[in-house]
Amino acid sequence: MSKIVVALGGNALGKDPKEQLSLLKDVAKIIVSLVKQGNQIVLTHGNGPQVGQILLAMDYSANGDAGTPEMPFAECGSMSQGYIGYQLQQCLQNELKLQHINKNCATVITQVLIDGSDTAFQNPSKPIGMFYTKEEADKIVKEKGYQFVEDAGRGYRRVVPSPKPIDIVEKNIIKQLVDDNIVIAVGGGGIPVVKQGNSEILSGVAAVIDKDRSAALLARLIDADILLILTAVDKVCLNYNTEKQIELNNISVIEALNYIEAGHFAKGSMLPKIEACIDFVKGNSSKTAIIGSLEKAHLAIKGESGTIIREE
């Protein structure tokens, strides 16, 4: 039996609640197949489109005549964790019942600790929320101090920092639950929180934590055996989508670092996944990280699909 942290990629979630619920029925079958193999599962997921929709709706409402209060970004993140978790739970519970498996499923609304002095706060780079004209963006900057960037000719969007995760507040609860349950946690990379001064008092901040880095941190903290990052491709490739494309079956940390230095992995897609895998296995030869497709997750666990990354 292995303890596995499964990180769902954006391809597993839909563009709206109806599409997402439909897609998650197939996700549930795949996750339950891993449970049937005797594995303990902690499931993580992204939330980019979902939290963007929530923020857009809240911004629109607050700027209208309804008198709706503004909703802080951290609270929008918690809303996305709740509704994605609800749909995942429901689909998993239904599939478990269909297959007569006596196991429960629970979502943990998860806070992830970051360093308030992280250099990412000096260079916010993650676009969030709705598009504005230059005039509208300038007005908001004066009123609220937000930072904006021009986004692909479509208008101006607010940007927030993307700091590194350093701890997971609910790690002990997750560790206790995983023995007998499928646990959904650290949705969207977690709700970013900082400590107030030298105290243990936490408060949410407007930031986005990379979901794969948070999944790797969670895997370390709960002493998982395997980090399984599921995406849209079967294997990691060199020279991706070219005539010289080479699929990678097994690579070491050193090999992965060399490929990164050679520029083989794109910053917005495969690079953070490779870096998360390195974070998890580096210095521990007993741990395994795998990057593979959702559809072949059960094969990836057996070593029959995906790219396996180990310390050596």
* 82-113 pLDDT, tens digit each: 999 999 999 999 999 999 999 999 999 999 99
Are residues 64 and 190 both part of a single domain? yes
**Among 126, 171, 282, 287, the one annotated catalytic:** 126
**How many angstroms separate the CA atoms of 289 and 166, rounded?**
19
Identify whether residues 186 and 291 lie together within a single domain: no
Check residue 156 and report its DSSP letter: E
Question: Using one digit for the tens of pLDDT, what is the confidence trace for 121-169?
Answer: 998 888 877 788 999 999 989 988 888 988 777 888 888 899 999 999 9
Concerning whether 267 is annotated as a catalytic residue, the answer is no
Q: Catalytic residue among 175, 273, 282, 287, which?
A: 273
Does residue 220 lie within any of the structural domains? no
Active-site option among 46, 85, 129, 211: 211
Residues 2-15: pLDDT tens digits?
999 999 987 688 77
Task: From the candidates 11, 29, 116, 204, give the one annotated as an active-site residue.
Answer: 11
Question: What one-character-per-residue DSSP string does 176-232 give?
Answer: HHTTTEEEE-SGGG-EEEEE-TTSS-EEE-S----HHHHHHHHHHHTT-SEEEEEES
Domain that holds residue 283: 227-312
CATH label of the domain that carries residue 297: 3.40.1160.10
Whether residue 222 lies inside any domain: the answer is no
Residue 139 lies in a domain: no
Residue 280 has pLDDT above 90, yes or no: yes
Same domain, 187 and 287: no
Assigned domain for 15 exists = yes
Q: Is 10 assigned a catalytic role?
A: yes
126 catalytic? Reply is yes
Pairing, β 181-184 against β 156-160: unpaired
Query: How many structural domains compose the chain?
Result: 2
**Does one domain contain both 6 and 97?**
yes
For residue 10, give the nearest of 230, 309, 307 by alpha carbon. Answer: 230
Note the helical H segments in the chain: 17-36, 48-62, 73-98, 134-144, 171-177, 211-221, 253-261, 270-281, 297-301
Rg (CA), the chain: 20
Residue 139 appears among annotated catalytic residues: no
* pLDDT (tens digit per residue) in 30-59: 999 999 999 999 999 988 778 878 887 887
Active-site residue among 10, 48, 155, 204?
10
| Distance from C-alpha of 81 to C-alpha of 192, rounded to nearest angstrom | 12
Instruction: Judge if pTM exceeds 0.85.
Output: yes
Query: Known catalytic residue: 11?
Result: yes
Do residues 70 and 185 share a domain?
yes
Q: Kindly state whether residue 133 falls inside one of the protein's structural domains.
A: no
